[in-house]
Amino acid sequence: MANDLLKGKKGIIFGALNDKSIAWKVAERAYEEGAEIVLSNTAGALRMGEINALGEKINAPIIAADATNVEELDLAIDKTMEHFGGGFDFVLHSIGMSPNVRKKIPYDDLNYVFFNKTLDISAISFHKILRVCKQKDAINEWGSALALSYIAAQRTFFGYDDMADAKALLESIARSFGYIYGKDKKVRVNTISQSPTMTTAGSGVSGLDLLFDFAERMSPLGNADALDCADYCIMLFSDLARKVTMQNLYHDGGFASIGISEEAMDKYKS
Ligand SMILES: NC(=O)c1ccc[n+]([C@@H]2O[C@H](COP(=O)([O-])OP(=O)(O)OC[C@H]3O[C@@H](n4cnc5c(N)ncnc54)[C@H](O)[C@@H]3O)[C@@H](O)[C@H]2O)c1
């Protein structure tokens, strides 16, 4: 259901890989709500080619950038501003990857080169994007920048490995940068802490199917899926959330506030 919530707004969306990606759903919903979009992902992801279908569908140019590389981000933001003929109103950071998770290296035996990569790709890249945008005054006043997080930033989830540390850092960056960007330019910066979601990044976490089932039983509203998440992003990009900043916002069907649910208890009966 479209309500023109983003009519006249422009934004850049990082991290749409395929039609399961949360960023993909956000891009589709933002377009439906009247926004003009630029898409960005790594050169490798672009070579996989699936993003082209999305670009065509929503009439969005696709710009390659490794979000850990400031020079590439610099160029990507320049090209985005050129395309829009000036600044834009929203940014989605939907980027995450841990080589330790991919290689199933346990937390007490982390490879530190990989650990640095995890932090750079999954958290520090958000700082880099915000920094490049602020230096170029790329985000318009009352603009909105969002990144996607997970509750493992607050509580330990077996198997989430060094991504938990990356999410804690990501949420901290949103607060620290949110203060400065809000004060100087009235730009909002928030993170959304999303339910487990069946995506390419999600399936890298060992036992995601079990985690998904556990969260589903624990959440009174059930897990939020990628489309639910897209709806929440649209609201936060819109003018309906003008005074929301420096927050980590749980979008998880109630999971974050539950100790034990009846449905989870049932699992232990017999
Ligand atoms: N899937 C879940 O269960 C879940 C839950 C909570 C939060 N999240 C977060 O949502 C975000 C999006 O993930 P997703 O689940 O849609 O999976 P996804 O695999 O579709 O998206 C991850 C994206 O990160 C991109 N990426 C990786 N390295 C990059 C780099 N160096 N520069 C730029 N882009 C890079 C990938 O190309 C991909 O498009 C991630 O931050 C993830 O941690 C996911």
pLDDT number for residue 201? 85
The set of residues, in sequence order, having a beta carbon less than 8 Å from that of 65 and lying 6+ positions away, is 14, 40, 41, 42, 72, 73, 75, 76
Q: Which domains, and CATH codes, for the chain?
A: 10-266 (3.40.50.720)
β-pair type (188-194, 88-93): unpaired
User: What pLDDT sits at residue 270?
Assistant: 67
Mutate to test the pocket of ligand 1, among 26, 62, 94 (most ligand atoms within 8 A of CB): 94
pLDDT tens digits along 8-49: 999 999 999 999 999 999 999 999 999 999 999 999 999 998
The pLDDT value given to residue 49: 86
Cβ of residue 15 lying under 6 Å from some atom of ligand 1: yes
Ligand 1 near 100 CB (within 6 A)? no
Residue 197 tokens, joined: 């979601």
- With bands split at pLDDT 50, 70 and 90, how would you rate the model's confidence at 207? confident
pTM over cut 0.85: yes
Ligand 1 pocket residue status of 223, Cβ below 6 Å: no
* H or E segment and range at residue 212: helix 208-218
Q: Which atom of ligand 1 is nearest to the CA of 212?
A: 3
- 238 C-alpha to ligand 1 centroid (Å): 23
Give the tens place of pLDDT for each residue, 78-116.
Answer: 999 999 999 999 999 999 999 999 999 999 999 999 999
